[in-house]
Amino acid sequence: MRHRPSTLRILVLAIGLAGAAGANATDFNNLQTLTQAEFRGLSEDLGAALSFKPLIPAEPMGITGFDIGIAVTGTKLQNLAAFQKATASGTVPATLTVPTLRAHKGLPLDFDIGVSFGSVPSSNMRVIGGELRWAMLAGSTVSPAVALRASFSSLSGVDQLSFNTTGLDISISKGFVMLTPYAGVGTVRVKSDAQGSATQTTESFSQSKVFAGLNLNLGLVNLAFEGDKTGEATSYGMKFGLRF
């Protein structure tokens, strides 16, 4: 219990750092000026940045298990010029930062469910995501866990854009005392539609996904660090939370 005050301070600090990192972001209110190629590039980067990030090992948590916390991910934009053109001010950071609140709950039969709620600081972008994960191999002290995950994410707050992703991946993890490394591969399906635009048509495409991370459990306190490459864009994330 003595860990809780310091953990809460860490979570508040992380939120503050995420806000500072995204302070130069502005609203997407100029999407109609993009060419189709620019719109495709912007959609690819958004797919990498806003698709659901696991930030959790493959092993099931069990029916009484909970994992709650906050996460911050940063995605290096591959089409920065398109993002700048899509905003009235033309000011967008090279790395798109997305802080999220996250919660996972263990279910029967080695299933787990997770949800996330986030927003891009100083912008009109908000995102909700979720996952349903099934550990086909639950793992043990000598064998790894292997899990299938179905995920989704949906963007709101941008009147000019309807955007969502769906994902499917397989991951593996193996615990060693307090440390649990994990990795996975999969695909992300992106659907991006410029609302009311006469210059862009809907983009619907798939991007490959690879990711790897490390979970550190210190009793009640839990930390996770993850690297992800979706399409051509690389993301890095970290999560601070409580696991019980």
DSSP 161-195: EEEEEEEEEEEEE--BTTEEEEEEEEEEEEEEEET
pTM above 0.75, yes or no: yes
26 phi and psi angles, rounded to 5 deg: -135, 170
**Cβ contact 124:152 at 8 Å:** no
Over residues 109-117, the mean pLDDT reads 98
Domains of the chain: 3-243 (2.40.128)
CA dihedral 106, 108, 110, 111 (to 10 degrees): -60
Determine the 3-state secondary structure of 192 from DSSP: strand
- Give residue-wise pLDDT tens across range 54-102: 999 999 999 999 999 999 999 999 999 999 999 877 678 899 999 999 9
List, for residues 211-239, the tens digit of each pLDDT value.
Answer: 999 999 998 999 999 999 999 999 999 99
For the segment 125-168, what is each residue's pLDDT rounded down to a tens digit?
A: 999 999 999 999 999 989 999 999 999 999 999 999 999 999 99
